[in-house]
Chain A
């Protein structure tokens, strides 16, 4: 039987050096791999409504984004007005958004601008569906990263029926619809 060698000071220094070097290597490797965050691909999104109901936050961290370079500034806006709206105005009975999170402002005949009130938006996607069916698709959903807590396993991603959620680099956290918007951001 081989007698057990007593660990001396040299062994301790070797071990400490190995731990230090290994730690440094791991730290360097980690700093090179990008930090990832959750985002949803607007091309895959089917506006099922689960972003509003499945997020761990209430209201959801998913909000409606509006691309002004795509918007037609229409009087008859499919994202703002209910399909059976009696008139094209700001009356509650004509608005599609359940929380009145979209503001309609007259610019000049026949153009109207639509802005999203992020505090009121619950991420239900009803306006996005309306805009997609009757308009240019200028409204779309995105995870807002100043609100998202970036769960390891995103509750919305787990329930998303169209696989629209994916991990993207934190340095480029949004999937914006138009090139012009991308350049501005």
Chain B
């Protein structure tokens, strides 16, 4: 075991995945060749569950639209979802790793992983791992209620009632600061989230091409894509 994170006494490292290992070295590729989701992603908590909204654009260096139909929110837990923000490769790998961790946790312990535990684990991986250039939102529902966390590239994990990450965050926050209320219903939160994505899509070059909306409740995760905003606003 040459891994510097390994503790040498058989104890598993809390900073690396159970399966697979963390590649050494920094992220390869420059701005012009790595697909990035410039992106606007939003998470809002309500009493009924969590709403996550993302735009649909992938770009190269923020100057060329490399894909117009990207689903940037993925289910990673029976009642939890994560957004892809930053390097597409890093985010996809991050999602695969967390999914397997969630499944292992649940099959070993016969109970679903608490969302706070998942957020802590995601923060540990982001901090120690190869998933450097990412800035996702984790949203989920468990026994404690609805949760939204932003996870930054250095492993910072912050819980909030609503949060935004990505290049269009300032535009989306502008709308949310006016429209968010403590007692939003799930349906109203979906509409507010879609309008915030629309604001960002109109003015941020890294965001565009429509909106994906995920509804996370104690029943599960439902993700729908919409190229037109009219249907969801």
Do A and B associate with each other? no
Chain A contacts to B: CB under 8 angstroms: none
Chain B contacts to A: CB under 8 angstroms: none
